[in-house]
Structure 1
């Protein structure tokens, strides 16, 4: 899951654990029966009004927008255009407050990429986006079908359903001024500066929540799950199969907990922990990054001739810790970087997944001997992107910060006071001497004035696969096991450290596709290959 503003992508877990015994079980679920046409409503709605889809033309995107969305070659552009011609777009009206179905209503934007083999159709797969706050409107044409041949093959027998959760993209949304995180001055975070940051966050949170509390107070995972069930009913589906990513896994567990009889096969990748707690997430995320840095340090030591950071993992760790202290004592300002380079930047380079180890190692080596007024080239490449980019005209919203903040904070039970947040931060620095310096002060939801609304997760029957990445720190492995204890299912272990990679690696994607075709799943897959 992605916690924006003052807390980065966090999920409590422990990387490096051995595969859990639950991995051995195979999940089997009967194939869902063919569903009625989308114009057919159903009485299984949670609203007193039978839901329906208001179909409309899909948005038209320029080539510039298509390229910004990932269609970077002529072949990809042609494929994107072909999928957009097949895509159906519409909206479903749902209650803002599901406890008051006759009250204010909002629209949920929905897309469908219909199965190409209608005679052998198995049903519909709802794609659950990350975030919270991520858009899933175009996930079928941007994320699933283009991934590889096996994922594209899902669309032969399954309709692929995308949607924007309430508060995001083409769905009804609101915007508030979001708090700006990060210390004003480079170098170690002092208690005085931390207090200033805390006070600013509290004020911004109270202003945001108070700007439209009737709407913002209804931004929760549970409500998105209830919206999704109305979408299911509007499409005439007796049940939804689920393919969830990151926060979408939490949404998938919430949906399945609430509607077990309406849930078919569910594959959830990079599974979130079962409870949202910002303080726990801050420490758990940093613990996982520190552990994964041990793997990175060993790899760098094996390439000491290239990077010169040490011939053993211990020597590399000592060199990087020394570099953090040096840049905290004397931060550097470069004319071609927007942010100064201090110890937190060095720590951020050490908190990288394996796909970035080579570049991060080069950047760390450059910082050891850097001179001059401009940033070393790899340092600039990795941290020099502008904080804001000029938006491409007509670009759809891919992420909504207000929805992210509100959903996390409406459900967060910690809402730390200053003393608690400062204590947690100090513990992180002591326990994790390399990556801890990159951790933020865990005050994302401090002062959030709206009531805590916990999402309820339950065990139920049926088919469920929880994909955990053994060394990942975005959604670490321990969180997957905690969720398995909460909701059951089968743990599928991906032996890499790359967030939501299961559908992007051919061997893993073959398992995912086979699961949706047959209901059977193995123990796991290798995932993204580690650098040689």
Structure 2
């Protein structure tokens, strides 16, 4: 994007970067080898990136920025150069969220959605954050893919969840205890600034989705002089990161379930869950209760009351996926009725990943636990679960459950307090279940120079793929650098039948 001012000399880039990183024990000359490094660009070896003509490189960064002379790790980045060099406006970095999601190809996906001048005018930069994908990945050998599980229906289920989380945490300490404390958002933000210098840029431009908005907000707080234009889609309120952020998912998920239940009731002749939304809800809660008594067998997989709410949590998050959820629940209901069923389609994919994982998603837990502390008293979680059951019978025990952070070591740094006037464009869906609408409002509040684009009337996580109105506003901002004069409401695109 357009740079504000000439590119400074390399020595000034290095000095300015270190001054902004907030690590008093690291002298500028200790960081020189990272900020001045020359990287080797090669083919990425991934079909989508290679087809787009992108190249990849490994950037060396300190594991611990307070001790940069100690161990170093590598972060893999991708670059697809601007198609119109004469109109090049800078670099556009992108992160899809997670935390812990691979992002090497994410900038290309964003450019496909936006079109316009984005791929013509910007070098598109993707990256795998530290600990993820091709960036010194860390795994803990978990027997399940993720530590996010419902706590179940009673004390027995809660105790089972607590025991699982303790085991998962212990496995991570045993395998990565010396490394995992440094897999954090603040350190990833520092990595981004090294990437910026390696690319020879005075400022970066950034698009983040979901957790990627939190990473972007942290970067702007740590390196305010290094940002230009910022787009945050489905934002996280930094004041509620991370345990309250998860708790905020309960109410919109419960509301989204009712929307799906009304949709399913209208198609009772096809799916047979009930002719009214309350009847559909009763059918599904009955399945959870049955799974709590005895896991539901689907071929080689046992589906219990801890995992079934996770399937619902993902299934109700997008109106475009309602049919997929209905098909999956029909398989589960048939199996619960004693019909021999082998999971098929996306349900089989989900169960295979959740219960027979090739790789775990421990990096997500490392990031969350390394960023902000979680309560360690099990009774704190139990009280919140019990208090949530009346209003959130399906999702309350999920979003209030203990997780791996309950047993984690304390973070090495305090959470980042975000308060600045960065020129950010924030996009938020009112029906978002993963980053609740008030999350985007919260980020808008602490970024006093931001504008908020609200998308009503759609259950969705991610506004850019859902609204042509929003895409036009994003493209206009990326072209001109000028935010809308006021907050805006954008309607979603029509859903395909």
- What is the TM-score when the length of structure 2 is the normalising length? 0.81
**Deviation at 1:140?**
3.1
Give the equivalent residue in structure 2 for 1:94: 61
Q: 2:322 aligns with which of 357, 367, 378?
A: 357
2-structure distance, mates of 1:318, 1:192: 23
Give the equivalent residue in structure 2 for 1:486: 446
Segment of structure 1 superposing worse, 261-270 or 193-202: 193-202
Q: CA offsets, 1:211-236, max 9 Å, x none?
A: 44442211111111111112112212
Give the equivalent residue in structure 2 for 1:107: 74
CA contact (8 A) 1:137 1:164 kept: yes
2-structure distance, mates of 1:221, 1:331: 37
Higher relative contact order (CA 8 A, sep 6+): 1
For the aligned residues, what is the CA RMSD? 3.6
Give the equivalent residue in structure 2 for 1:401: 361
2-structure distance, mates of 1:229, 1:258: 10
Give the secondary-structure state (helix, strand or coil) at the position aligned to 1:165. Answer: coil
Q: 1:163 aligns with which of 121, 127, 132?
A: 127
Q: How does 1:316-395 map to 2 (within 5 A)?
A: 316-325=280-289, 328=292, 331-334=295-298, 336=299, 338-340=301-303, 345=308, 348-349=311-312, 352=316, 353-364=318-329, 371=337, 373-375=339-341, 380-385=344-349, 387-388=351-352
Q: CA offsets, 1:194-224, max 9 Å, x none?
A: 3244234224424523544442211111111
1-structure distance, mates of 2:359, 2:246: 21
Give the equivalent residue in structure 2 for 1:117: 84
The 1:208/1:156 distance shift into structure 2, 3 A limit, reads same
1-structure distance, mates of 2:408, 2:304: 32
1-structure distance, mates of 2:326, 2:115: 33
CA contact (8 A) 1:126 1:240 kept: yes
Give the equivalent residue in structure 2 for 1:395: none
- What is the TM-score when the length of structure 1 is the normalising length? 0.77
The 1:108/1:380 distance shift into structure 2, 3 A limit, reads closer
CA contact (8 A) 1:187 1:327 kept: no
2-structure distance, mates of 1:441, 1:300: 28
CA contact (8 A) 2:208 2:233 kept: yes
Give the secondary-structure state (helix, strand or coil) at the position aligned to 2:431. Answer: coil
1:45 equivalent in alignment to 2:14: no
Q: CA offsets, 1:41-84, max 9 Å, x none?
A: 654231433313533243453xxx63xxxx6xxxxxxxx5441x
**Deviation at 1:429?**
3.1
Give the secondary-structure state (helix, strand or coil) at the position aligned to 2:60. Answer: strand
Structure 2's unaligned 5+ residue stretches are 19-27
Give the equivalent residue in structure 2 for 1:58: 42
Give the equivalent residue in structure 2 for 1:288: 252
Q: How does 1:162-201 map to 2 (within 5 A)?
A: 162-178=126-142, 180=144, 188-201=152-165
**Deviation at 1:255?**
0.6
Q: 2:426 aligns with which of 459, 463, 466?
A: 466
2-structure distance, mates of 1:306, 1:136: 38
The count of aligned residue pairs is: 471
2-structure distance, mates of 1:512, 1:388: 38
Structure 1's unaligned 5+ residue stretches are 1-28, 72-79, 390-397
CA contact (8 A) 1:265 1:464 kept: yes
Give the equivalent residue in structure 2 for 1:260: 224
2-structure distance, mates of 1:159, 1:417: 47
The 1:253/1:235 distance shift into structure 2, 3 A limit, reads same
